[in-house]
Every structure is written in C-alpha cells, then in structure tokens.
Amino acid sequence: MLYLRNLIYHPTACPTAILKSIDLELAPQQLGLIIGPSGSGKSTLLEILSGLAEPTSGGLFWREQELIPEQLQQLAGLVFQFPERHFCGSSILEELRLGHPELGSDRVKHALSEVGLEHLSLSTAPHALSGGQQRRLALAVQLIRQPNLLLLDEPTAGLDWSMRRQVINLLAKLKQDWTLLVVTHDAGDLLAIADRCWTLNHGELKSVDSKTLEVKVKEPLPTV
Ligand SMILES: Nc1ncnc2c1ncn2[C@@H]1O[C@H](COP(=O)(O)OP(=O)(O)O)[C@@H](O)[C@H]1O
Ligand SMILES: [Mg+2]
C-alpha cells in the first residue's frame, strides 16, 4: 500500500507551491489514474514518487514504512513521457540490460514476455519497433528491475487508436501483478481500467469517482 501524507513541493524560486498538500492511497494490484491539464504538477509528482526530487514537506509511506528518496528509487519504476526518446541501447537486449549487465537471459525473456514482445529478436534495434512496441519495451525496461510500484507519465500520448489499445490492454494485464500509477492530461479509455481516480489542478489533488468521469467523457458534444 502506498500512502502520501500532506505532501508539499514548493521550490524556493516558485511564488506558489507546485504540489499542495497531496494525500493519496493506492492499494497493491490497483491502477490509480491522475488526470490533470498541462502544468498541473503531474510529472513533478512522479519525480517525487520515483525519488528523483525531494518533497518540501510531508511523507511517503510504503506499507507502514516512511521512505527516503534512495528507497523510492529502488521501489518505483518510472516510465517517462515519450520514453522512446530516451532509448540508448543499440538492440532490445542492450536496452534491457543498461545499468544491469548482471541480469541473466531468464530475466530478459520474462520481462519481454510480460509486455508481449517475446517473439522479437533480441538484436532488433529499439528504433525499428512500432510506436506501440516501443512503449511496451520501455515498460519492460522498468519491469526487469521488478519494482513494487510502476509509474507512467502520459503512457498513451502521441499514439494512434490501435497503439493506444495495445498499451491500455497491457496496463490492464499488468495490474494483476503490479501496482500502477498513471498520470495523463487525456484520460479517455484509461478510465475503464482505473481502480482509483484523482484530478490534479494547480497542484491540488482531489479524489473522484471514475464512473462519473466516464459518463462525462462519453456524453456527446452539444449540437448548436
Ligand atoms: N524545479 C522546478 N522549478 C520551478 N518550477 C517547476 C519545476 N518543476 C516544475 N515546475 C513547474 O511546475 C508546474 C508543474 O509542472 P509539471 O509537473 O511538469 O506539470 P505536468 O506534468 O502536469 O504538465 C509547471 O508550472 C512547471 O513549470
Ligand atoms: Mg508532464
């Protein structure tokens, strides 16, 4: 279980806090979805949850234990927005083993099969993959470390309809084994697989019922 308690992020150079008194709870094997417009603080929150930035005040807890950034780096796996832009291996194998040369072929195969890419040759260049496959490889790069919490920044951004479907089906499958927190400015069909939902506006997080959001999204636009 992940808990955030009264978490505030207010860099001294900023006139107002970027994250304001965030409270959040996420149970194991659930998918939490945070929906907020551009600039609302979504990526900043994921940076804090993955131990890349330190909150100004408040606490992060995993089960009963309060965590410091170094522990969060171990616990969480962050998939950046447009993760394919950060690929630097020349092959799938190299990409998966970056920073973990000790990982054996069993772990490599397992990570690829979790994201449905086990049929590809390990020597394939990451840039030769389709957009949906690249997103799945970026997930495998995190899963191979077996983090307790998987964080995804705009996982469906820039994908066409069929590739969005691939990613959403994969996230629905992954939540059977992992705890996922997804942030997006465009919830769309991610709502259907979310167990918990929040909106984030100007750094303020509010819990919402995903069912009410779903209805709103599906309502046709009024015709004039
Ligand atoms: N280190 C920082 N110092 C000052 N401002 C920042 C810093 N990091 C992010 N911001 C600002 O915080 C706000 C939230 O940014 P971000 O988390 O990237 O939002 P989102 O991912 O929802 O688009 C933005 O207004 C951004 O300019
Ligand atoms: Mg962002």
Token pair 């998918």 in the structure block, residue: 31
- What pLDDT was estimated at residue 63? 87
Whether ligand 1 lies within 6 angstroms of the CB of 184 is answered as no
How far apart are the CA of 187 and the centre of ligand 2, in A?
14
Which residue blocks in the chain are alpha helix, DSSP H? Answer: 42-49, 69-75, 92-97, 105-114, 131-143, 161-174, 210-218
pLDDT at 27: 95
> What is the pLDDT confidence band of residue 64, given thresholds at 50, 70 and 90?
confident
Give the DSSP H/E element, type plus range, for residue 126: none
Q: Write down the pTM of the prediction.
A: 0.92
pLDDT, position 221: 58
Ligand that comes closest to the CA of residue 45: 1
Instruction: Please tell me the residue having the least CA distance from ligand 1 atom 3.
Output: 11
Average pLDDT over residues 71-96: 95
DSSP string, 55-113: -SEEEEEETTEE--HHHHHHHEEEE-SSGGGG---SSHHHHHHTT-TT--HHHHHHHHH
| Atom 24, ligand 1: residue with shortest CA distance | 39
| CB-ligand 1 contact for 43 (6 Å cutoff) | yes
Q: Please give the pLDDT value at position 48.
A: 97
CA dist 206 and 200 (Å) reads 7
Helix (H), strand (E) at residue 50: none
Which residues pair with residue 201 across a beta bridge?
A: 204
Residue 173: band (very low, low, confident or very high) from pLDDT cuts 50, 70, 90: very high
Confidence band for 216, pLDDT divided at 50, 70 and 90? low
Is the pLDDT confidence value at 224 over 60? no
Give ∠ CA 169-111-30 in degrees, rounded to 5.
Answer: 45
Q: How far is the CA of 18 from the centre of ligand 1 (A)?
A: 7
Average pLDDT over residues 23-44: 97
pLDDT at 167: 92
What the block records as the tokens of 134 is 């690249």
Q: For 122-127, what is the mean pLDDT?
A: 97
User: Is there an atom of ligand 1 within 6 Å of 210 CB?
Assistant: no
**Residue 44 CB less than 6 A away from ligand 1:** yes
Say if residue 218's pLDDT is above 90: no
Return the percentage of the chain with pLDDT > 70, whole number.
95
Q: What span, in angstroms and rounded, lies between the C-alpha atoms of 35 and 151?
A: 14
Domains of the chain: 2-88+148-218 (3.40.50.300)
pLDDT of residue 113: 96
